[in-house]
Amino acid sequence: MPRLFVVLQYLLPQRLLTRIAGALARNETLAGLLIRLFIRRYRVDMSEARNPDPASYRSFNEFFTRPLKAGARPLEQQESTVLCPADGALSQSGTIGETLVQAKGIEFATASLLGGDESLARELVGGSFMTIYLSPRDYHRVHLPLAGKLLRSRYIPGKLFSVNDASTALIPGLFCRNERLVSVFDGDCGRFVLIMVGAMIVAGIRTAWDEGGSPGKPEQSLADRDLTFAAGEEVGRFQLGSTVILLFPPGAVEFEAGLAPGDSLRMGRGIGRLSQ
């Protein structure tokens, strides 16, 4: 079945399906039905939401990107803590080389993930990376793991393969193929990167600095804008599930010992410490 699912992704019209899903997610008439079905199917815990009443959401998108109530995701307060940027499951983590691990037996080029930015890729070699998969039931707002100033953001168009376990295990270079947003920040550890990867049925990636819609633009230099974020502050959101990848420079971060692929993660918990 996993192989059949992957084969179907090559054959199906990914963008057409995503546009249809996006239209349904924005539709106010169908919102109540879609939300009730989704909550039942994925056992969504609405008690964590700032607004726990499913019937009050005007569209599925509004429901899906719902904020959480105060205190639902407390931030670990130690000054040197690297915070988890999103709810999800740890997919992979390790040392950045010329390639990164996608899944057992599959690697992809770091520079390719960054849209061909060889200079930034070389700068990150020897550093640390972590990939977090957001399932449909997860909280889908993305937060910054460390305080930092946004230097630039680059939208990279691409495919819209699913990013679930079957796809990551069977589609080579998956994250380099898919649409993604690569954002470079400057923090206490130096320059670090947060990548939001799109996927099939993801109707949009939103950011705190481009609220007008999906950031479907080429490289934006943002160093001249005051876009400084505190650790744990929201920087973006997905409209349906996907993946977040963190890249830290050499000697900057030590991830928490014992973390392994498949481990459940929550936004705001410590996933590591600054080394410096």
Q: Exactly one of 93, 112, 183, 242 is catalytic; which is it?
A: 242
pLDDT surpasses 70 at 53: yes
Residue 99: predicted pLDDT: 93
Beta strands 128-133 and 106-109: pairing type? unpaired
Does the annotation mark 87 as catalytic? Answer: yes
Split at pLDDT 50, 70, 90, the class of 210 is confident
pLDDT surpasses 90 at 203: no
* Average pLDDT score, the chain: 86
**Burial degree of 23 (CB within 10 A; 0-12, 13-18, 19+):** exposed
Residue 172: predicted pLDDT: 84
pLDDT surpasses 90 at 22: no
Q: What dihedral angle (degrees, nearest 10) is formed by the CA atoms of 147, 152, 155, 160?
A: -30
pLDDT surpasses 80 at 263: yes
Q: What dihedral angle (degrees, nearest 10) is formed by the CA atoms of 212, 199, 238, 21?
A: 70
Q: Exactly one of 59, 112, 140, 143 is catalytic; which is it?
A: 143
User: Measured between alpha carbons, how far is residue 254 from residues 23, 99, 123, 209 in Å?
Assistant: 42, 19, 17, 29
Q: Exactly one of 59, 87, 93, 214 is catalytic; which is it?
A: 87
Side chain identity at residue 177, one-letter code: R
Beta strands 264-265 and 148-156: pairing type? unpaired
Does the annotation mark 143 as catalytic? Answer: yes
Per-residue pLDDT reduced to its tens digit, 66-106? 999 999 999 998 889 999 999 999 999 999 999 998 887 78
Q: Are 123 and 191 in contact (CB under 8 A)?
A: yes
User: Measured between alpha carbons, how far is residue 176 from residues 41, 43, 153, 231, 261 in Å?
Assistant: 30, 31, 16, 27, 20
Model pTM greater than 0.95?
no
Domain range summary for the chain, segments of one domain joined by +: 2-64, 81-274
**3-state DSSP assignment of residue 164:** coil
Residue 230: predicted pLDDT: 95
β partners of residue 106: 103
- Rg for the chain, CA atoms, rounded: 18
